[in-house]
Structure 1
Amino acid sequence: MDIQVQYRSAAGRTCRDEPAGLRGVPVEEREPLSEPRAYKGRRSILTKWVSASGQVVWCTSTVQLDAAMLLDFDPDIVCFQSRVVQLHWELDGRRGTVEPAFVARTRDERRLVFAHPPRDGAGVEERVLRQSADRAGWEIRPLQAPQGVLQSSLESAAHFRGPEFAADDRARQMLLDVFATPRPLQAGAAASGLGLKALGYAWHLVWMGELTWDWTEPLLPTSPVWTSQAASAGEA
């Protein structure tokens, strides 16, 4: 099987290479190959996720949008993007293209490729992804979206993911101290003495994983939250 990967160079030019040529290339930092366009008769939705770092990630389904939210919440993911690689394959006179949902980089510099469910029953797309990943040094992951209670909780916290809700070091430490033992989110923020911005700061710390809660329960202003182990380890 012949596979060529289309992506953008560091200079922004569209180029092609064999999968092995992309080993170590930070494609998740590159601009998308194209932006999806709305057109008459389009069945999929057209929307975007703006990550906590301000990166615009295009999505073409609610499942992909929710999956982007989950990746943005994941503390192990430092960068991710959609539409940055296309895998063009040819086999026995047949041709096709596979486009992963996302490419992401972890804190320990692993490159993850999140795959859409395959559209063919013959397993060709899965084979293309597997061979490309083996040669490029990628790890394949299924596309996962939060469900039920976790989905609604993340949606609540996501409203406060932007940098405008980030507390300075002093305010952050005050809130981590307040929530050293479990307290209702809104009441704990009010008790911090940080004024009207305190609740937004606290929600942002939840989104950043420095405050946590019982994930099996809905996240509400009255929900008990507490300083996470990750935040405690960072203070040590």
Structure 2
Amino acid sequence: MVQQRWADAAMTVAFENLPPVSAFPAVPGRRWGPGLWWSATTGRHVAAGSNAMRAQLMVMDRDREVTGLAGRPVRLLWRNPRGQARSWVPQLFARRADGTALLADCPSHPYAGGERARKGADAVAQACADIGWTYRRLPPLDDVLAANLKWLAGYSHPRNAGRPGLAAAVLEAFARPRPLNEGAEAAGDPIEVLPCAFHALWHGQLTADLTTPLHERVLVSPRGSDSPGKTAGAR
């Protein structure tokens, strides 16, 4: 492991390409432990330490301003006012298209980690501000949004774009806002079309209201449409 001045490392190190500096802990009794998240942004796996972090990775993976992702790629060290050595390892690193970056922690609730986490957050936030980066403690996602993103993430891989010409047919079918099932039937066999439509929704080529549960009548719109994706009423 290499130690560098923070300002120098931020300018020269591609943190998005680094493995974790330390393993995520496996806590007995938790329903979800450390694992790997396949990123559509990078085409590689990203280490994830908790369900809350995986949910935030899904959000980052859909953000078109994010170009790279990594789990725990850097440990920051400093001395407190009493001269004592302290350190903190942020859970998530996201590289932005403009070259800046976000360091983040993904607590399952606002007080997770206690006083040590609060002091670590303050120190990392200041270190990021000094170089024009950002640090955040990301609040947990709404359950419905998290469930919708988890569903769409299952179709994020390029293979779900389908055969040549299918993606174009799907986008044409939803050139105007319409319910998901109607657009799928207009584009062809729904069994073939729906994975492609979900792939387009994940990548932002189509839009829908992800704050309500996805279902066959959800209103799907083209990217940039003035009509928000909301649930269509029954006919």
Name the TM-score class by shorter chain. Answer: 0.7 to 0.9
Per the alignment, residue 157 of structure 1 pairs with: 152
Per the alignment, residue 229 of structure 2 pairs with: none
Change (3 A) 1:104 1:26: same
Q: How many aligned residue pairs are there?
A: 216
Inter-partner Cα distance in structure 1 for 2:214 and 2:117: 42
The range that moved more, 26-35 or 165-174, is: 165-174
Inter-partner Cα distance in structure 2 for 1:51 and 1:36: 18
Inter-partner Cα distance in structure 1 for 2:10 and 2:117: 27
Per the alignment, residue 113 of structure 1 pairs with: 103
**Residues 35-82 of structure 1: per-residue CA shift (max 9 Å, x gap):** 43658x586822232212432222222211211122112222222111
Taking structure 2 as the reference length, the TM-score comes to 0.79
Shift of 1:16: 0.8
Paired AA for residue 91 in structure 2: A
Superposed counterparts of 1:145-184, under 5 Å: 145-167=140-162, 170-184=165-179
SS in 2 for 1:120: helix
Aligned 8 A contact 2:125 2:136 in 1: no
Give 5+ residue unaligned stretches, structure 2: 108-112, 226-235
Per the alignment, residue 71 of structure 2 pairs with: 82
Residue of 73, 81, 85 corresponding to 2:62: 73
The range that moved more, 65-74 or 160-169, is: 160-169
User: More relative contact order in 1 or in 2 (CA 8 Å, sep 6+)?
Assistant: 1
Per the alignment, residue 8 of structure 2 pairs with: 21
Inter-partner Cα distance in structure 1 for 2:223 and 2:87: 43
Inter-partner Cα distance in structure 2 for 1:37 and 1:102: 15
Change (3 A) 1:89 1:208: same
Change (3 A) 1:156 1:119: same
Change (3 A) 1:83 1:35: same
Inter-partner Cα distance in structure 1 for 2:193 and 2:73: 38
Residue of 49, 61, 82 corresponding to 1:60: 49
Taking structure 1 as the reference length, the TM-score comes to 0.79
Structure 2 residue 94 is the aligned partner of structure 1 residue 104: yes
Shift of 1:121: 6.3
Paired AA for residue 177 in structure 2: P
Aligned 8 A contact 1:183 1:226 in 2: yes
Alpha-carbon RMSD across the aligned residues, in angstroms, is 2.7
Aligned 8 A contact 2:102 2:134 in 1: yes
Percent sequence identity over matched residues? 29
Structure ranking higher in strand proportion: 1
